Amino acid sequence: MPSNLLKVYNQLLELLYISHRDNVQSIRKVFDRDFAVFPFRFRQYPIHPTPADNEDTMDRVFRHLTTVVVDQAVKKREFETARSIRIHWVKHHLEERKQDVIRVFTVLNENRVYVLDVTERYVVVLEPLRKLQAFFLLTAYHLEDSRYRNLMNKCEKRGKEGVVIW
């Protein structure tokens, strides 16, 4: 477990344990280190965890950063290795430590802000709060080739008028 706490961007966390539960605990320790203090900031705006009824907000954020929906009808989520081994990349991107490869934009008619690392093909998705100058952290994940092309096509189709660069 301690070796994962030493990982930095763009290293991947290791799933060293036989037990799924032990691997999740190791990833959770990295999450707790990086997200211990909410709200943290993206640029000057605070980021808050998405609230949920009858669920701890930090557990909800952790779940969204480490799982993927496998059944839309019942919103069933399952652990996803590709998201989980990059959980420590989220903070790096929100702090925009490598500004030359990070693109921040929103697509008109979508209530989302994308923080995209074009080199690593990694995206952090934020949702602006309605009444405050703040964001909810929705999710973050590595983009496979097809999803990366879809995001790039979405931007190109909408053209300069449809994409707002931050």
For 99-109, the pLDDT digits (tens) are 888 888 887 77
The whole model's pTM is what?
0.87
Above 70 in pLDDT, residue 96?
yes
Kindly give the residue spans of alpha helices, DSSP state H, lying in 48-87: 57-66, 81-84
Report yes or no: 126 and 70 within 8 Å, Cβ to Cβ.
no
pLDDT band at residue 130 using 50, 70 and 90 as cut-offs? confident
The pair phi, psi for residue 68, each rounded to 5°, is -135, 150
What one-letter code names the amino acid at 40?
F
Above 70 in pLDDT, residue 57?
yes
Number of domains, the chain? 1
Q: Name the residue range of residue 120's domain.
A: 2-165
Rounded CA-CA distance 123/65 in Å is 11
The per-residue pLDDT for 161 is 61
